Chain A
Amino acid sequence: MENSNKKNSSRREFLKTLGVGTIATAALMQGCKPNNTVVAEGGVIGEVPKDKMTYRINRNTGDKVSLLGYGCMRWPLRINSQNEEEIDQDAVNELVDYAIEHGVNYFDTAPVYVRGWSETATGIALKRHPRDKFFIATKMSNQRFPNQGMSNREVYNASVEMYHNSLKNLQVDYIDYYLLHSVGGGDGRSLYESRFIHSGVLDFLIKEREAGRIRNLGWSFHGDVKVFDHLLSEHDKGNVHWDFVMIQLNYVDWKHATGFNINAEYLLGELEKRNIQATVMEPLLGGRLSRIGAQALKILRKLKLHDSAAKWAFRYAGTPQNVLTVLSGMIYLEHLQENIRTYSPLEPISEAENTALEEVTEIMLNADYIQCTECQYCMPCPYGLDIPAIFGHYNRTISAGERLKSSNDENYKQARHTFLIGYDRSVPKLRQADHCIGCNICKPFCPQRIDIPHEMQRINVYVEQLKQKSEF
């Protein structure tokens, strides 16, 4: 049974992200039932199961991996005494301890996450636990090296250094899951070749696997499907053995991947054919599937009255048997608790439920959303824009049902006011969409393949319509 207090805390989170009075939260609020068993201090800590987590077995090494994997791409930040931002290590320790205590054992990080601080922070938190209690995943994030004018030799040296730094920062002498980070991005095949083949980095990593310092070697995929197919054909030919692959999987991307994303149905199918297990990223599509709007929520609530949209999305991502673990970046305890509950144990998505989610997908696809997952890969913009913040504000407006279709809309006055004031609050004036110069530098770094300059212009057109009070 869902606990209503948990609903409460997730509601608070939603309020934070959505602003006031959105339809989605209004619907969620109805989940608050009077049969509340609130523990003092507002927690439901005692009620999150510790021993019911669903595990999947790695067919390669026999690892018993928790279905909920901890994504370490977003750790909580705090301001230190020098007035600088840093990772809130105490909060990280608490979250990691709580996760391990409740059966989570897969931690996924990368050298570039959280401005390069993630590995160290994750390492510090995990060091406090026995090494056999957790699996660690990190990545070769050398995707920008070739474009910085490095020669093959230099790419190799810098990449090997990055690998050794990962071991050092994580304070471990072996890595359980090592990934070629974001394969298929940039210009696709040729970038892959310069990162891993011409430079010899892949050979180096294979040797490391032979030496036992990498227990599983795989890659995370974004973008060009030709690269995906190419890497699998290399596997088929026996040139390289892939132990696992990380793909983007959620109910929208299953059949309706947008931009340059590839339908997860295809990706997972290809992996299954080769008996390669998948780890899953973006189960919530950058949080989008946790705020799906009233119309979509209504469909889901008919089947499960109390379940949050997020829970539905996680259940969906965990349902395929070939999925080893589903990653979620959780910086609040409440999110961690909800996700632990979802997978303790997993209740697979039924046929009827799947149909409902397809309906929801239809609704989602018609929305005006920008597919930004706020991963920050595009940042920093050399001309100072805060790209994820701009998209975030715009998307929040859409989820709140306040993206005006016309200047004659009934809520025009209020929605205009809220949008413009909220815009200035979320993004400093000099970092707003009007400052985008269309240089396209950011574009190759977006794993969602958003045409960032184009979207910036689109948002700015909307901003100008509102500012000038013009008819539209």
Chain B
Amino acid sequence: MLRKIRIISASLFFLFITLLFLDFTGTIHQWLGWVAKIQLVPAILVVNTIVIVALVLLTLLFGRVYCSVICPLGIFQDAISNISGRRKGKKNRFSYSPAISWLRYSFLGLFVIGLVAGISIIVSLLDPYATYGRIAANFFAPLYRLGNNLLAFFAEKADSYAFYTTDVWIKSWITFGVAALTLVIVFILAWQNGRTYCNTICPVGTALGFLSKFSLFRIQFKVDKCTNCKACERACKASCIDTKTKHIDHSRCVTCFNCIEKCKFDGLNYSVSFHSKTKNETEQNSDNISRRNALSILGLLALGSTLKAQQLHVDGGLAAIEDKKIPNRNTPVVPQGALGTKNIKQHCTACQLCISACPNNVLRPSNKLSTLMQPEMSFERGYCRPECVECSHVCPTSAIREITTAEKSATAIGTAVWIQDNCVVNTDKIQCKKCSQACPTGAITLIENEPDSDLKIPVIDKSLCIGCGACEYLCPARPFSAIYVEGNVRHHTV
């Protein structure tokens, strides 16, 4: 019964949080945005005391329910482990092993140092929610979008407007690589030994594990009923049940209730603990690993190369359009709600949710070491459109705070810079008005270039420029735009 409740609620949570990463229409976060906000690391980064206290209390009362039901990476591993267990002869493949405490606490220590010292790369690499986010954003979301594009293709054939095509592209090869690597590690560990990752690497698992040592409700042996059959030990994906000594390592138990379900002799129960040691008796065999409603995750690895492509399809009657290249910005441009580069660096856990949500293809993961995988903006495929505040809605850590479109239009996230040598007025000797036309705030005016020429060049009013990137995106100069946005370290109010 308890196990069924756990499985159903975990499946729901997993589905919800995955949908957040898949949705590109900006509708789902309104209903499900909260599932990202109750994740522990995001809650710590935003200092959401209510969530933190609630999660601590939850763990002190019921053990590591969080790891089984709320954490998407944990549920993801359970799914992998479940599929692995369906293979012949692998049904009861687990056995007790002692905790590798020095490693666990080293990772936790490292994580805390990263958190306190603001070394965001450590935090984002170790945060289980962000780890899952990167996997979902880099592997599941593209697949989902390709599926959507297929539907859009058929819809177009049928003259229906029910689906529209979206761009699918690798936003950063480094982040993609990190996501792929963690996916491989997590997959192998879960496939072989269930919850190894959670109980050796994950700092959240270690921290909650420490708390759950003292939890009120916990799984305990009923010494008089146990037959020492080892069925529970073999079913324990956390490898925390030692039938010989009748000891359960509660720091590693994720309260999945598999053991209780497995025991034919009612030898285990989930009840209020009085810290009593249990004693052992005999052992017996049993099999039949429980069936679980898992999401199929096969076929996700063989993806990589197919993603790029589908960009310019030039036909003979059209001029070829060269791809734009990313300019070298001294200061990265970050979204309006981020307040500035410092704030986002401190609070972002690099979960990629905002990047998945950005409908204008502006946000992508950073490739710089200090802000690795955190979002930054660039305008090769679109610009930060005035009607959109999507990233600010989805962010679970308030690295990007909730803003309105009015606030957005009054926030200068950067300043446009003109590059004379790239400008088509100089290269093509043609009067281009694009940047001044495109500017939503009228910050760009055209003035006479030289006394003897009637060609005009842009001049930027820095007090009006909000750094939206419209000029950079629409600038006809290629591959590098003749006007680009330099980020503001702290965002200005216009």
Q: Which residues on the A side are within 8 Å of B432 (C-beta)?
A: 437-439
Tell yes or no: B146 within 8 A of A by CB.
no
Give the shortest distance, in Å, between A396 (CB) and chain B (any CB). 12
Tell yes or no: A431 within 8 A of B by CB.
yes
Cβ contact within 8 Å between B387 and A384: no
Dominant SS at the B interface?
loop
Tell yes or no: A150 within 8 A of B by CB.
no
Tell yes or no: B424 within 8 A of A by CB.
yes
Chain A, 414-434, CB within 8 A of any chain B CB? 417-418, 421-422, 424-425, 428-431, 434
Q: Which residues on the A side are within 8 Å of B161 (C-beta)?
A: 417-418, 421-422
Whole-angstrom CA separation of A469 from B385 in the bound complex = 12
* Residue in A19, A425, A439, A468 with the greatest tally of chain B CB atoms within 10 Å: A439
Give the shortest distance, in Å, between A414 (CB) and chain B (any CB). 8
Q: Which residues on the A side are within 8 Å of B117 (C-beta)?
A: none
Tell yes or no: B109 within 8 A of A by CB.
no
Residue in chain A with minimal CB distance to B318: A380
Q: Say whether, besides A437-B424, A437-B433, A467-B387, A382 and B321 are in contact (CB < 8 Å).
A: no
Residue in chain A with minimal CB distance to B159: A20
Give the shortest distance, in Å, between B126 (CB) and chain A (any CB). 38
Cβ contact within 8 Å between B321 and A437: no
Give the shortest distance, in Å, between A394 (CB) and chain B (any CB). 17
Whole-angstrom CA separation of A418 from B163 in the bound complex = 11
Residue in chain B with minimal CB distance to A19: B159
Chain A, 427-472, CB within 8 A of any chain B CB? 428-431, 434-441, 457, 467-469
Chain B, 420-435, CB within 8 A of any chain A CB? 424, 428, 430-434
In the complex, how many residues of chain B place their beta carbon closer than 8 angstroms to a beta carbon of chain A? 30
Whole-angstrom CA separation of A422 from B312 in the bound complex = 18
Q: Which residues on the B side are within 8 Å of A51 (C-beta)?
A: none
Residue in chain B with minimal CB distance to A419: B161
Cβ contact within 8 Å between B430 and A85: no
Q: Which residues on the A side are within 8 Å of B387 (C-beta)?
A: 467-469
Q: Say whether, besides A19-B159, A417-B161, A467-B387, A438 and B318 are in contact (CB < 8 Å).
A: no
Give the shortest distance, in Å, between B159 (CB) and chain A (any CB). 5
Q: Say whether, besides A20-B159, A435-B474, A437-B432, A430 and B312 are in contact (CB < 8 Å).
A: yes
Cβ contact within 8 Å between A85 and B159: no
Whole-angstrom CA separation of A421 from B430 in the bound complex = 33
Tell yes or no: A383 within 8 A of B by CB.
yes
Tell yes or no: A176 within 8 A of B by CB.
no
Dominant SS at the A interface?
loop
Give the shortest distance, in Å, between B1 (CB) and chain A (any CB). 47
Q: Which one of B164, B165, B321 lies within 8 Å of A430 (CB-CB)? A: B321
Q: Which residues on the B side are within 8 Å of A421 (C-beta)?
A: 161, 164
* Residue in B313, B386, B430, B431 with the greatest tally of chain A CB atoms within 10 Å: B430
Tell yes or no: B438 within 8 A of A by CB.
yes
Q: Which one of B160, B312, B315, B437 lies within 8 Å of A457 (CB-CB)? A: B437
Give the shortest distance, in Å, between A224 (CB) and chain B (any CB). 23
Q: Which one of A84, A384, A428 lies within 8 Å of B319 (CB-CB)? A: A384
- Binary interface profile of B, 460-494, with partner A (CB < 8 Å = 1, else 0)? 00000000000000101000000000000000000
Whole-angstrom CA separation of A425 from B161 in the bound complex = 10
Cβ contact within 8 Å between B321 and A425: no
Q: Which one of B317, B321, B386, B424 lies within 8 Å of A376 (CB-CB)? A: B317
Q: Which residues on the A side are within 8 Å of B160 (C-beta)?
A: 20
Cβ contact within 8 Å between B319 and A115: no
- Binary interface profile of B, 422-461, with partner A (CB < 8 Å = 1, else 0)? 0010001011111001100000000000000000000000
Tell yes or no: B156 within 8 A of A by CB.
yes
Whole-angstrom CA separation of A418 from B159 in the bound complex = 10
Residue in chain A with minimal CB distance to B320: A384
Whole-angstrom CA separation of A297 from B317 in the bound complex = 35
Cβ contact within 8 Å between B431 and A438: yes
Q: Which residues on the B side are within 8 Å of A440 (C-beta)?
A: 431
Q: Which residues on the B side are within 8 Å of A457 (C-beta)?
A: 437
* Residue in A381, A430, A457 with the greatest tally of chain B CB atoms within 10 Å: A430
Tell yes or no: B89 within 8 A of A by CB.
no
Tell yes or no: B316 within 8 A of A by CB.
yes
Cβ contact within 8 Å between A437 and B476: yes
Tell yes or no: A386 within 8 A of B by CB.
yes
Give the shortest distance, in Å, between A17 (CB) and chain B (any CB). 11
Give the shortest distance, in Å, between B356 (CB) and chain A (any CB). 19
Whole-angstrom CA separation of A382 from B428 in the bound complex = 10
Whole-angstrom CA separation of A424 from B165 in the bound complex = 8
Task: Please name 20 pairs of A and B residues whose Cβ atoms are closer than 8 Å in the assembled complex, sorted by A.
Answer: A15-B159, A20-B159, A20-B160, A379-B317, A383-B319, A384-B319, A425-B156, A428-B313, A429-B382, A435-B476, A436-B434, A437-B424, A437-B430, A437-B432, A438-B434, A439-B424, A439-B428, A439-B431, A467-B385, A468-B386
Known interface pairs A429-B382, A441-B430, A467-B387; 17 further A-B residue pairs with C-beta atoms within 8 A, sorted by A's residue number: A19-B159, A20-B159, A20-B160, A115-B317, A380-B317, A381-B319, A424-B165, A425-B165, A430-B312, A431-B318, A431-B321, A434-B438, A435-B434, A435-B476, A439-B424, A439-B431, A468-B385
Which chain B residues have a beta carbon within 8 Å of chain A's beta carbons?
156, 159-161, 164-165, 312-313, 315-321, 382, 385-387, 424, 428, 430-434, 437-438, 474, 476
